[in-house]
Structure 1
């Protein structure tokens, strides 16, 4: 567990294995990481908007808290995926597979449905 977290914060740890990949691939990996962070910020912003602008009732909390938590999860997942992808590229391995994008899409769809229900109530 801690060895994985060390990869997030210690660039020398990531660079300690394998050989340097083509810089274009590292930059593409970084752009993907930044796109995931934008997604996390959008989810957090949506959670804050729901918390501020929906009428005070239980549905507001049911929608806002998961959006905020999902935003935090996406941010953590982004840095983990970045580190694992960078390591795989350095070792010449296949990039790590992930079900997270599909799960995120389903959760966002459910959140949108909940917001539709809240809008019409």
Structure 2
């Protein structure tokens, strides 16, 4: 007898895909988790180090990075589940929603840091 797997909304659908695809999907999920950790660490470091930058822009950039880092695991989970369901149902893989959103967040933080450097 096999134990039920979590989440049921994913594993009770379709058929078991090739393990290589499932493991690749899991590695992608874990890469997003590492990215989340880096974003949070970068935001915290930016504010805690108290660099001699415009404090309003520095704080704004730190908040953008920490917010993106906090939201990334949830987005990674939804992306993992959607991809796993598609694999199990032999459907086309869904497009990533995370990459564009994180691109905007990191670009915004970079612009804020640039402004903090240029505006004393």
Q: TM-score scaled to structure 1, two decimals?
A: 0.83
Residue in structure 2 matching 1:71, options 69, 72, 88: 69
Residue in structure 2 matching 1:95, options 93, 96, 100: 93
Q: CA deviation at 1:60?
A: 2.9
Please give the alpha-carbon distance, in whole angstroms, between the structure 2 residues aligned to 1:108 and 1:42: 11
Q: Which runs of 4+ in 1 moved over 4 A?
A: none
Moved more, 65-74 or 53-62: 53-62
* Corresponding residue for residue 4 of structure 1: none
Q: CA deviation at 1:38?
A: 0.9
Kindly indicate whether residue 45 of structure 2 is the aligned counterpart of residue 45 of structure 1.
no
Note the aligned Cα RMSD (angstroms): 1.9
Counterpart mapping for 1:2-17 below 5 A: 10-17=6-13
2:57, 2:113 within 8 Å by CA — same for their partners in 1?
Answer: no
Q: CA deviation at 1:91?
A: 0.6
Which runs of no fewer than 5 residues in structure 1 stay unpaired? Answer: 1-8
Counterpart mapping for 1:26-41 below 5 A: 26-41=22-37
Count of residue correspondences: 113
Please give the alpha-carbon distance, in whole angstroms, between the structure 2 residues aligned to 1:41 and 1:29: 19
Please give the alpha-carbon distance, in whole angstroms, between the structure 1 residues aligned to 2:95 and 2:105: 19
Higher helix share: 1
Q: CA deviation at 1:81?
A: 0.3
Please give the alpha-carbon distance, in whole angstroms, between the structure 2 residues aligned to 1:58 and 1:115: 10
* Corresponding residue for residue 103 of structure 2: 105
Q: Whose radius of gyration is greater, 1 or 2?
A: 2
